[in-house]
Amino acid sequence: MPTVDARPSPFEFDLDTTALLVIDMQRDFLLPGGFGESLGNDVARLRRTIAPLQALLKAWRTTSMPIIHTREGHKPDLSDCPPAKLKRGAPSKRIGDAGAFGRILIQGEYGHDIIDELQPLNGEIVIDKPGKGAFYATELSETLAKLGAKQLVVTGVTTEVCVHTTVREANDRGYECLVLADCVGSYFPEFQQIGLEMIAAQGGIFGWVAESPALLKEIA
């Protein structure tokens, strides 16, 4: 079985039962001028994930293993956005407000979609999610069951929010998760570091962590 040099131990995976998750690589989070930047964040901290993810997708697409992209966002009437999420914090703009790339985090808007560099290809699965975790209120469990997936390679943004929540949800559902450090990003360097440490700590309490070249060697 292919084995990736990972922390806290080598990660063995089966080409027949592994899926790639690309979480929320959306314009709203990554584009200069977008929602993420309007919250005061330095989007360059997320954009460093784009080149490694492009390389990973290129290699993964030569295999038969499935690719699932997710997008965080809400219906135009916000009926799937709990008031607690809508009102949280004091951003200059809130979910649903008009932003530089359309209404912020609203399905169908330009900003809600995935960045040009990582656009899904025909046949790849795209799951829209209203929460931070990709399992909450989505068809992800059923999709993975249909694919026969047991192991997940997890990438995307942000490390401590949607990536972490999804990895934790997946862990409780029995999936083994490998998180690729160079393919996940945070606006906060300290959260990036500690978020990855939290996954691999205690013998891999939530999963494994590796750099993408270690995986690429196994699938190239």
From 28, 81, 162, 177, the catalytic residue: 162
Residue 24 binds ligand C5J (CB under 6 A): yes
What is the rounded CA–CA span in Å between residue 33 and residue 35?
7
Number of residues that bind ligand C5J (CB under 6 A): 7
Give the x-and-dash track for 103-122 against ligand C5J (CB under 6 A): --------------------
* Nearest CB to ligand C5J, comparing residues 18 and 70: 70
CA-closest candidate to residue 158, choices 183, 141, 175: 183
Q: Which stretch binds ligand C5J (CB under 6 A): 7-15, 51-59, 158-166, 174-182?
A: 158-166
CA 111 to chain centre: 16
In the residue annotation, 129 being an active-site residue is answered as yes
Find out whether 62 and 20 touch, Cβ atoms under 8 Å: no
Q: What long-range pairs does 61-64 form, CB within 8 A, spacing at least 24?
A: 61/121, 62/219, 63/15, 63/219, 64/15
Active site residue 14: no
Name residue, tokens 């690729």.
180
The answer to the question of residue 166 lying near ligand C5J (CB under 6 A) is no
Enumerate the active-site residues: 24, 129, 162
Task: Please report, as ranges, the residues that interact with ligand C5J according to CB under 6 A.
Answer: 24, 29, 72, 157-158, 161-162
